[in-house]
């Protein structure tokens, strides 16, 4: 066991504060690495505050993790000390179900082990995430990260990146498609970058008129303010796909009306309350409301390699870990362009 | 103009009663035919009673129509007097939008002309449906019907048949797929026949335990009573597709839980109230909730030809038109196996 410094919460109302805990010694197939950067995901807030229920305390949040390998187990063939690596939203899975065998560990039928607020596959050992100095993860759940890119801006690719990359690839979205990105936050800004990179015509749908310049700078071709009736008409029956990154309550019927025949609204954000969907809105144009969850290991590696090749990273604001509570407050106000990343050197 | 006998309603509370009205003389491209049989669709009840709003009176319902050609216009090349023909849910469309050009007239962007309770493309001339002795329809919206099959049992193919055939074809459902058919009524029994014919493993999901023998007789491989917890467990994460034919309110979350990863619940029935769908239920397995509306002209002809080749028809109960109100009452109690068809010879 090796003592690791971290920031943690001990119940749903406490602030995040320094906490030292023991990481396991690297096993035969484990990779230990020093965490350099960890992104701050909106789901960290939900879980820290137990807004989804079932939170496990103490909790060390963080699942957008980049660092340098310090030690590897004797059976590790894929990594060596000094390698730059990443870990995303999960650190193990059953490895035996059809989805795991298919490299879709995010849909593991027996329940994958999330990077934090979860248990290892033994179902008793809690997992602790990336707001910490080091982590030990089985080599099969560790990803290679290119040193060509700024590593702080790579961290959010491990969640926000793969969450938007995966559905774009699954639905084969690219040239010839008209794609809307609903919501321009951590997920939305990555969806714009990828959809543009894949050759689609990209429109950002937002409730905030003041995000237009940013949307266009990110590469979007059009910008539509959701509250402007005239602008809404211009996109009725217009899109092949909507990447819906909004996790606040919103009117699904309105968004579905923007889809043309056979269009698909792909939800990667999920409001806490059920969506009210009139089935007529789907039937009338053979439309679909779909969901997508991060991505499997092979696809996450593919995404990281694609980003290195095409020079794609997240737009970030690097913060001191002491300011993580403040970053939560700013995120809840939408005051972030577009991802906070913790500089783990500030955790001392 | 030629006077035609029909059964019609004059407002939302009156019963159906005899009504004589004028059909147009066949124009250059029109086909006039004597109606032999007309199926009774659940949507007839909704529209007669104005349950969807916007009903146009007087209304002659009926959009599952089979008959024999009596006269054709001088420009008609596809049909001649004596031919056996059918007409389904619509009788014209804009013919210029992308969907119409693609043979997907059911999704006409400018609004197709439904067979009744609608207007011709001039947007002023009301359309009157199949509870009548004759009809005049542009040749492009008339279908060839094989005389190899019993024509009374063919009539429901024009709505119930194509409504279930089209999504099975669109989603390429067949061998290797596990398909659930939710609800065993007019649509459901056709979904079972087609899905079995296409080689899928078919399970009927029903709230009525007493439909099991019928489901198996129709070709289904399994039958699951939706209210039996143990049976429900056996189909959790089980199906590739659910063909949801239920038009009463039901719990979409439960049905979505029956889908495996990447599964699609295809709604062809629509409850009057919005579905409450928790987006987490879609995200967790990259699932989709989709809808599908009847089918276009080319696909409807393909379906009729497929049925003639594979000896597929609807299970029907032939009725006297005087009993059509009684048939509505029985349908509302679920007392129909599986479609009422009006013998138009009884309209005198």
pLDDT at A18 > cutoff 80: yes
Q: Tokens for A281? A: 């809105």
pLDDT at A229 > cutoff 80: yes
Residues B250/B225, Cβ–Cβ less than 8 Å: no
pLDDT at A265 > cutoff 80: yes
CB contacts of A282 in chain B (<8 Å) are 267, 289-291
pLDDT at B335 > cutoff 90: yes
> Which pLDDT tens digit goes with each residue over A82-93?
999 999 999 999
CB contacts of B293 in chain A (<8 Å) are 283-286
pLDDT at A59 > cutoff 90: yes
Phi, psi of B295 (to 5 degrees): -165, 165
Phi, psi of B21 (to 5 degrees): -145, 175
CB contacts of B99 in chain A (<8 Å) are 261
pLDDT at B205 > cutoff 90: yes
Full residue range of the structural domain in which residue A277 is found: 161-291
What per-residue confidence (pLDDT) applies to B193? 98
pLDDT at A110 > cutoff 80: yes
Distance CA B115, CA B128 (A): 6
> Which pLDDT tens digit goes with each residue over B119-168?
999 999 999 999 999 999 999 999 999 999 999 999 999 999 999 999 99
Q: Please, which pLDDT band fits residue A227 given cuts at 50, 70 and 90?
A: confident
CATH of the domain at B87: 3.90.180.10
Helix (H) or strand (E) holding A339: strand A339-343
pLDDT at B52 > cutoff 90: no
Return the exposure string of A16-53: e unless at least 16 CB atoms fall within 10 Å of the residue's CB, then b: beebeeebeebeebbbbbebbbbbbbbbbbbbbebeee
- Helix B186-197 to helix B160-170 angle (10° resolution) is 40
- One domain, residues B8 and B153: yes
Whether ipTM > 0.90 holds is: yes
- Helix B160-170 to helix B297-310 angle (10° resolution) is 100
What per-residue confidence (pLDDT) applies to A158? 98
Residue of B nearest to A247 (CA): B279
What per-residue confidence (pLDDT) applies to A2? 84
In a domain, A309, yes or no: no
What per-residue confidence (pLDDT) applies to A32? 98
- Helix A160-170 to helix A186-197 angle (10° resolution) is 40
Touching check for B293 and chain A: CB below 8 Å? yes
- Please give the span between the terminal C-alpha atoms of chain B, in angstroms, as a whole number: 19
Q: Which residue has the higher pLDDT, B307 or A208?
A: B307
What per-residue confidence (pLDDT) applies to B284? 93
The lowest-confidence range among A133-147, B92-106, B220-234 is B220-234
Q: What is the mean pLDDT of residues A294-321?
A: 98
In a domain, A167, yes or no: yes
- One domain, residues A68 and A214: no
In a domain, A296, yes or no: no
Residues above pLDDT 70, as percent of chain B:
100
Distance CA A188, CA A244 (A): 8
Q: Please, which pLDDT band fits residue A1 given cuts at 50, 70 and 90?
A: confident
Average pLDDT, chain B: 96
- One domain, residues A99 and A230: no
In a domain, A243, yes or no: yes
What per-residue confidence (pLDDT) applies to B199? 98
DSSP H helices, A127-226, are: 151-154, 160-170, 186-197, 212-217
> Which pLDDT tens digit goes with each residue over B208-221?
899 999 999 999 99
> Which pLDDT tens digit goes with each residue over B80-100?
999 999 999 999 999 999 999
- One domain, residues B325 and B217: no
Residues above pLDDT 70, as percent of chain A:
100
- One domain, residues A130 and A199: no
- Name which of A168, A183, A291, A294 to mutate to probe chain B: the one with the most chain B Cβ atoms within 10 A of its Cβ: A291
A291·B276 Cβ contact <8 A: no
B288·A107 Cβ contact <8 A: no
Touching check for B298 and chain A: CB below 8 Å? no
Q: What is the mean pLDDT of residues A92-112?
A: 96
- One domain, residues A83 and A206: no
DSSP 8-state class, residue B332: H
A282·B271 Cβ contact <8 A: no
Residues B159/B88, Cβ–Cβ less than 8 Å: yes
CB-nearest partner of B277 from A237, A287, A289:
A289
What per-residue confidence (pLDDT) applies to B248? 87
Last residue of a domain, one of B271, B291, B311: B291
What per-residue confidence (pLDDT) applies to A123? 96
What per-residue confidence (pLDDT) applies to B341? 98
Average pLDDT, chain A: 96
Distance CA A139, CA B65 (A): 64
In a domain, A116, yes or no: yes
Interface of A with B in 34-93 (CB under 8 A): none
In total, how many domains does chain A have? 2
Residues A204/A225, Cβ–Cβ less than 8 Å: no
In a domain, A183, yes or no: yes
In a domain, A307, yes or no: no
What per-residue confidence (pLDDT) applies to B325? 97
Touching check for B237 and chain A: CB below 8 Å? yes
Nearest CA distance, A206 vs chain B (angstrom): 20
CB contacts < 8 A (A, B):
114
Task: Tell which residue, A256, A47, A38, has the closest CA to residue B288.
Answer: A256
> Which pLDDT tens digit goes with each residue over A177-225?
999 999 999 999 999 999 999 999 999 999 989 999 999 999 999 999 9
- One domain, residues B313 and B252: no
CB-nearest partner of A274 from B99, B278, B291:
B278
What per-residue confidence (pLDDT) applies to B247? 87
Touching check for B282 and chain A: CB below 8 Å? yes
Q: What is the mean pLDDT of residues A290-303?
A: 98
- One domain, residues A148 and A227: no
B278·A268 Cβ contact <8 A: no
CATH of the domain at B284: 3.40.50.720
Q: Please, which pLDDT band fits residue B36 given cuts at 50, 70 and 90?
A: very high
What per-residue confidence (pLDDT) applies to B45? 95
- One domain, residues B136 and B182: no
A274·B270 Cβ contact <8 A: no
CB-nearest partner of A279 from B98, B267, B285:
B267
Distance CA B37, CA B151 (A): 7
Q: What is the mean pLDDT of residues B274-279?
A: 90
- One domain, residues A152 and A204: no
Distance CA B81, CA B92 (A): 21
Residue of B nearest to A102 (CA): B261
Distance CA A125, CA B75 (A): 79
Q: What is the mean pLDDT of residues B104-122?
A: 97
What per-residue confidence (pLDDT) applies to A312? 98
- One domain, residues A25 and A141: yes
In a domain, A286, yes or no: yes
Calculate the CA dihedral of residues A322, A325, A329, A335 and round it to 10 degrees: 40
> Which pLDDT tens digit goes with each residue over B310-323?
999 999 999 999 99
- One domain, residues B47 and B183: no
What per-residue confidence (pLDDT) applies to B272? 81
């Amino acid at each position: 066991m090796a003592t690791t410094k971290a920031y943690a919460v001990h119940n749903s109302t406490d602030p995040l504060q320094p906490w030292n805990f023991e990481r396991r010694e690297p096993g035969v197939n484990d990779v230990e690495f020093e965490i350099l950067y960890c992104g701050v995901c909106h789901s960290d807030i939900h879980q820290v505050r137990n807004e989804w229920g079932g939170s496990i305390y103490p909790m060390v949040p963080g699942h957008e993790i980049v660092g340098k390998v310090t030690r590897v187990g004797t059976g590790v063939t894929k990594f060596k000390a000094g390698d730059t690596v990443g870990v995303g939203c999960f650190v193990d899975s059953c490895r035996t179900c059809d989805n795991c065998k298919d490299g879709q560990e995010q849909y593991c039928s027996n329940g994958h082990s999330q990077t934090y607020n979860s248990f290892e596959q033994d179902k008793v050992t809690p997992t602790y995430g990336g707001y910490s100095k080091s982590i030990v993860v089985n080599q099969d759940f560790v990803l290679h990260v290119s040193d060509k890119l700024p590593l702080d801006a790579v961290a959010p690719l491990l969640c926000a990146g793969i969450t938007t990359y995966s559905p774009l690839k699954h639905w084969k979205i690219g040239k010839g498609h008209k794609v809307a990105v609903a919501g321009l936050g951590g997920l939305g800004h990555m969806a714009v970058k990828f959809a543009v990179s894949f050759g689609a015509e990209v429109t950002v749908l937002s409730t905030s008129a003041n995000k237009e310049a940013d949307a266009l700078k990110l590469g979007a071709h059009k910008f539509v303010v959701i509250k402007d009736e005239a602008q809404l008409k211009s996109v009725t029956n217009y899109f092949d796909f909507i990447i819906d990154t909004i996790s606040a309550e919103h009117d699904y019927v309105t968004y579905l009306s923007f889809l043309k025949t056979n269009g698909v609204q792909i939800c990667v954000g999920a409001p806490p309350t059920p969506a009210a969907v009139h089935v007529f809105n789907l039937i009338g144009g053979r439309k679909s409301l779909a969901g997508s969850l991060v991505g499997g290991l092979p696809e996450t590696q593919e995404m990281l390699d694609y980003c290195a090749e095409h020079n794609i990273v997240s737009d970030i604001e690097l913060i001191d870990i002491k300011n993580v509570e403040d970053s939560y407050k700013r995120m809840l106000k939408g005051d972030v362009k577009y991802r906070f990343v913790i500089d783990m050197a500030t955790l001392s």
